Structure 1
Amino acid sequence: MQRLILGVLLGLASLASVQAQVLTDLAGREVEVPDKIERIVLGEGRLLPVLAILEDEQLLERLVGMPADLALVDPGSARQYQQAFPGLAKVPRIGQGAADTFSLEQVLTLRPDLAIFSLSGHGPGSTQGRMIEQLQRAGVAVLFVDFREQPLANTPRSMTLLGRALGREARAEAFNAAHAEALAAVRERLPQGAGPKVFLHSRAGLGEGCCESMARGMFADLLVEAGGDNVARERLPGHAGVLSLELLLSQPPQLYIASAVGSADSLAAGASYIALGPGVDADPARASLQRLVSRGGLQHLAPVRDGQVHAIWHGFYNSPFNVVAVQVFAKWLHPQAFADLDPRRTLETFYGQFQPVALDGQYWISL
């Protein structure tokens, strides 16, 4: 009888080992993940393009829930996906994209096998210990990924993690190879020595005051990778904060780079901030940038007077396609060294190979 019981227990243990795998996520947690994932929920809408890299045309086959924030923070991308996948409208929305609106009860009614969360961002983050524990007790594996805090280091790690969890290893490896190649195109030719001083104006024009910037992670890391000297890095203690206009006038940067949060809809509504991204054409994008730097004291900045004014789509700061922004920055910072580099072609390649939606719109602009 003892031998029989032992045999049964060993058999069950063997079966469990076949049916589950242990993965280490970007929060450093060891997570037991079912080998066969059939139902997925996302912690924020901006993870939809990440899932699409791996799932391609089968994007909706396993997606059973996501927050409603994509249409709010990135309406252009939301429209792209809605047009390509009309069934996306029927996917239940589990919150508005903030941790306090994320409905645990609603998630559990969807019976997911896997929840994919970002370390930080608009949805539940790695600090939501109680929620994570409740999900895991209910049998939901929770994996944290990161495209924001350490974007270049953690993008390939996140894609490898999700590729293993979802059984899409080949797609993850192909994406990581393309990402590494695009990054090498900058790293291998980057001029030595200190780069030009840059003021990175985050979400330019969205608020009344001046001037929000990023010092670490997000766009700040992408700027450093392209050889830029971010003036906020020595002056802001955290990831982001506000620099005074007086400081920028007294210690002038050489380049002004704004991140654009506006969309085609915001342009049509007469919004005061810059618009770039899906569905936005070059001429209205350039006009929105010109309007922004012509008022509020920005017109007095040295790079505005000198014609060193640029803007880039804000969505790159938390995106697996972040390396495209590195290439764009490299061309702005070192125009001679990277005269033949074509970031648009890089973005077209990423979309053509790894996105089930068509690329359209203007993603960066200069005056």
Structure 2
Amino acid sequence: MLRTCLLVAALLLAPVQAAAKQVMDLAGRMVTIPDRVERIVIGEGRYVPALAVLDRADPVGRVVGMMGDYEDVDPATYAKYRARFPRIAEIPRIGRASRESFSIERAIVLQPQVAIFGLDGHGPDTRSGEVIRALEATGVAILFVDFRRDPLVNTPKSMELLGKVLGREREAGEFVAAWKAALAEVEDRLARARPAPARVFVESRVGLDSGCCETMTRGMMGRFVSAAGGINIAEAMVPGEAGSVTLEWLLANPPDVYIGTAIGGVDSLDRPWLALGAGVPAEAARVTLARSMGRIGIAELAAVRNGRAHAIWHHFYNSPFNIVAVQAFAKWLHPTLFADLDSDRLLRDLHDRFQPFPLDGAYWISLK
């Protein structure tokens, strides 16, 4: 009964849209949106940096509702946004960090014009039929973006889509041009040199549990391996975007390069996680990597013994700034070929141009 009443109330209160346009989202759907979008809900709090690319002055000004994942999974970066834009803490939360936690009732009451969801992720996605039907019934336009399923294809498309929706095509175009140029630096050099691919293992969310080893393969950061000139060895065992392999399998199929993803931050340096991101000094990050590489079995890998073990900020897997991770991977996989590639400068430049506060902290680190 409550849900029915809310649906009726939302239909009665929904503003009439005087003008509209059509866009195609990343799910291939033609969606009609208002010409002027002023009220949005976002299916992941971690979309805020993408919004900031388009509006550095007030990235959350149009956000009337958001999931509560950001402060939970990346509290250090969220704190940066909260310090710069205190209103972010006042935005109603319409769920936590899973699509099952999304509240249709709360979202409808907020009267958004547009809901921005991911093809996959920690909020509503293309499988969330009840959410889609309920919101569309009240006149909410639903758009799907993607920074994680096929990030190196869909990131520029997603940013261009957001630019159209929010009337920020120029800002989106500037970001996409810089993003594509950075990717071309890697692709063009690999195409000319044709180096032998390095064998790579990506261990995801290192230290989250005591077992080994969670990994990414045909999605998320797993895609960065092939883009950087490598072979993701776990693809032979893990058929989807992510999964796990045993330590015994990893020791029997040793990689040339090991890369772990860091879910820890400046407030968790004493936890068993790798720590990177906002506020984390490089030497503190290296200490967490060295500690992790001392684990039974992992320490025996030739990649670790030879100093070809590295750590990367985990949240690049779902970020429009993923391109800097591709460049970092390229330097690790082919250090001679990419000796002059400055991925640190790329991150600084992109952050200075497209984010609303200074860059602070190490976002990747090497054992040696």
Between stretches 109-118 and 192-201, larger displacement belongs to: 192-201
Pairwise CA distance, 1:68: 1.2
Q: Which runs of 4+ in 1 moved over 4 A?
A: none
Q: Give the equivalent residue in structure 2 for 1:166.
A: 166
Distance 1:146 1:182 in 2: 19
1:1-367 matches, within 5 Å, as 19-190=19-190, 191-267=193-269, 270-367=270-367
Distance 2:354 2:224 in 1: 21
Deviations 1:141-188 (A, max 9, x none): 110000000001001111111111111110111110000111111111
Q: Give the equivalent residue in structure 2 for 1:4.
A: none
Could you tell me which runs of 5 or more consecutive residues in structure 2 were left unpaired when the two chains were aligned: 1-15
Secondary structure at the aligned position of 2:273 is classed as coil
Contact 1:67 1:102 in 2 (8 A): yes
Secondary structure at the aligned position of 1:265 is classed as coil
Amino acid of the residue matched to residue 228 of structure 1?
Answer: G
Contact 1:324 1:346 in 2 (8 A): yes
Distance 1:296 1:99 in 2: 36
Secondary structure at the aligned position of 2:235 is classed as coil
Amino acid of the residue matched to residue 201 of structure 1?
Answer: E
Distance 1:55 1:116 in 2: 16
Pairwise CA distance, 1:22: 1.2
Distance 2:135 2:294 in 1: 50
Distance 1:357 1:67 in 2: 22
Contact 1:54 1:163 in 2 (8 A): yes
CA RMSD after TM alignment: 1.3
Contact 1:249 1:302 in 2 (8 A): no
Between stretches 97-106 and 174-183, larger displacement belongs to: 97-106
Deviations 1:308-355 (A, max 9, x none): 110000011111011101100010111111111111111111111111
Amino acid of the residue matched to residue 248 of structure 1?
Answer: L
Distance 2:214 2:62 in 1: 39
Percent of aligned pairs with the same amino acid: 52
Contact 1:194 1:229 in 2 (8 A): no
Amino acid of the residue matched to residue 205 of structure 1?
Answer: G
- The number of residue pairs the alignment matches comes to 350
TM-score (norm 2): 0.93
TM-score (norm 1): 0.93
Q: Which has the larger Rg?
A: 1
